[in-house]
Every structure is written in C-alpha cells, then in structure tokens.
Structure 1
Amino acid sequence: MEELAGFVNGNVNRRKVLEILESKGASDPQRIAKIARLIPAATGKIIEELEASGLVQKTEDGKIDLTADGKIIIDYIRAL
C-alpha cells in the first residue's frame, strides 16, 4: 500500500488524475486532460502508468475509471 501511495504521490499529475476520476466518475482521456490542464499525450502516459499499476481501468465504452484498488489508494493518501 505504501509503495503505491509513493508511486501516486511521486507525480502530482498522477494524483490529480486519480482525484478527477474520483470526483467526476469515469471519463474519457480528453476530458481528463482538459480538467487537469495537461496535454493529451502526457495524460495518456499517466493513464497507462496508472493502468499498469492496477489503479484505473478502461471501461467497455472507452472511458477511464478507478478500480477498487484505485479508490482504496485515494482514501489511503488522504488519510496520510
């Protein structure tokens, strides 16, 4: 758990993407980029990293959503 928290907190934009997904729900990558004020390529890389870590997943309609682990890690980080 601490390792994942460190991974997320190691990059402010990773945390920002997770927080956007928590507050707005499943979103398409372009919307996430716009809300986070990131370029789409950077957002895509962050999503890939978070997906590889099991914190987000692509839904059937192509949106990005938090996994159960993603929700747990957000709560864990806020409690720190």
Structure 2
Amino acid sequence: MSQHDQRPLTVACPQCQKKVVWSEKNPYRPFCSERCKLIDLGAWADESHRIAGEPALDETNIDEWLARAERGDER
C-alpha cells in the first residue's frame, strides 16, 4: 500500500477537540487554528497547564539550606 492510498491522519485539537488533519499544510498542528494554539500557550504562560513533578528549587534560599545541611538541621 503506497502512502497515497492511506487516509490522512486526523487528531483532535488539544484545545477545542475539533478533528484536524495532521499535515504539513497545517502550520498550527496539532491545533486547528492559531487561536487555539495561542489559548494553549497562554494557559502554559499563566501556569494553568502544569507537568506533574517536584516543585522547582528556589535558589534564593540555597545558602541557608546548605548551612542547615552542614549543621544537620532538617527544618
């Protein structure tokens, strides 16, 4: 079966769930439009979207933490 015989891959837009053809002709893939892409980007920017994991290390207190570790203080 050649590539031309296959149906194009469709995916759901991560923002609005509209079916989108995954193609180089769609500059916004996997999104359906620039609007959905920007809405998603905004959600990441305001931290509505997050990747689960440990909180990031706040380096402003690193000297204090190192001093505590050297003293054996686990506060």
Q: Which protein has the bigger helix share?
A: 1
TM-score using structure 1 length: 0.26
Pair member with larger Rg: 2
Question: Taking CA–CA contacts closer than 8 Å with sequence separation of 6 or more, which of the two structures ends up with the larger relative contact order?
Answer: 1
TM-score using structure 2 length: 0.28
